[in-house]
Amino acid sequence: MEEDEELNGYPIFFLVWISWRQEEEEGEEMLGMLAARAQHRGRLSERRSGGLNRGKEKATIGTPYDDDMGNSEVGHNALGAGRIYAQGAKLVDLALETGKIYEGEGFKYIQQCFENGTLHLIGLLSDGGVHSRLNQLQLLLKGCAEHGAKRIRVNILTDGRDVVDGTSVKFAEILENDRAQLREQGVDAQIASGGGRMYVTMDRYEVGFDLCFMLKGEEVHETVKFGHVTFFWNGNRSGYFNPEVEEYVEIPSDVGISFNVQPKMKVSEIAEKARDAILSRKFDQVHVNIPNGDMVGHTGDSQATIVGCEAGDEAVKLLSFEILAFLL
């Protein structure tokens, strides 16, 4: 949309439904998304005003490989940018491949401590390709040693969310083998600490590309995805572009409760807040995120995922009816 184009009084409504699977692949077990009676989501897709945005292929969101599923962060980055660009994992691959990562000011700064100090690395340990790439850690360890690091400590966060439960032992063994090879080269490399991502950092979230024009908008989301549709959507930029025309509504997520125990999450509250924003006619665009498929699906509880997806579908029903009433 060009800057001088008018919206003719109609708001733009962004509905992001994370981890929704549209088609069933032959031979795969029926997933919760397909088993759920998501009638209203299906009807919305059939309308000319609805559409399915695939966030899977690298050509769509800028991830390294065709079979890299990406994640909700890169999906929101791409949607917010409105264009295809190389995303984080691909940029890291290129930086490691070319050695550019060792030429930056950040690496040169920590390199000053290599002679007498300790290099600490912390991150997720898995090959899930969503939030972690084991081969990148392996290359980084090798590269740091080649650039003078004499004492390295790795602080690992095991996965069990993007990969199968129990696989952390396999990844730790791979890391141990790499560590042994570094020690043969005179590098003191050790695993210093560890913990599970669901308990240490990612069970609940605490929580740029400049637009060619600025719309008055409202973002409505619950805490677990609040950063996705503010920080990630805005090109990894914190805060408002312009607080005079933007409004962020954060609905607190449940605390201390597993998503499969409360699979409906806060999706009904999200829908109600979004409905109110649309009907207020105060905003040029309203942005809503339905997180159930992602957050509940990750638990591996198919029945809970069905409940979560059906709750999301009810939210779509409420919003689609309100939007149709608005247009008519």
pLDDT at 204 over 70: no
17-26, 183-192, 227-236, 265-274 — which is least confidently predicted? 17-26
- Give Cα separations from 72 to 8, 55, 78, 138, 259 (angstroms): 32, 9, 10, 25, 17
pLDDT at residue 220 in the model? 67
The residue extents of the domains of the chain are 12-83+209-327, 88-200
Q: Which CATH architecture has domain 88-200?
A: 3-Layer(aba) Sandwich (3.40)
Residue of 19, 45, 72, 238 marked active site? 72
> Do the domains 12-83+209-327 and 88-200 sit in the same CATH topology, yes or no?
no
Please, which residues have CB within 8 angstroms of residue 283's CB and are 6 or more apart in sequence? 11, 215, 216, 217, 218, 247, 277
- Give Cα separations from 48 to 43, 87, 172 (angstroms): 10, 30, 50
What's the rounded Cα separation, in Å, for the pair 185 and 70?
36
Span 265-275, pLDDT tens digits:
999 999 999 88
The more confidently predicted of residues 69 and 254 is 254
Q: Which of 211, 214, 195 is nearest to 203 (CA)?
A: 195
Q: Which letter, b or e, does each residue of 158-179 get, where b requires 16 or more Cβ atoms within 10 Å of its Cβ?
A: bbbbbbeeebbeebbebbeebb
pLDDT at 163 over 50: yes
| Local confidence band at 20 (pLDDT 50, 70, 90 cut-offs) | low
pLDDT at 279 over 80: yes
Span 32-59, pLDDT tens digits:
455 555 666 655 555 544 444 444 444 4
| Local confidence band at 183 (pLDDT 50, 70, 90 cut-offs) | very high
pLDDT at 96 over 60: yes
pLDDT at residue 120 in the model? 93
Phi, psi of 88 (to 5 degrees): -50, -55
Please, which residues have CB within 8 angstroms of residue 44's CB and are 6 or more apart in sequence? 15, 50, 316, 320
Span 283-298, pLDDT tens digits:
888 888 888 888 888 7
CATH for 12-83+209-327, options being 2.60.40.10, 3.40.720.10, 3.40.50.1360, 1.20.20.10: 3.40.720.10
Span 125-159, pLDDT tens digits:
988 776 788 999 999 999 999 999 999 999 888 88
Reported pTM: 0.60
pLDDT at residue 48 in the model? 45
59-63, 141-145, 237-241, 311-315 — which is least confidently predicted? 59-63
* 45 part of the active site: no
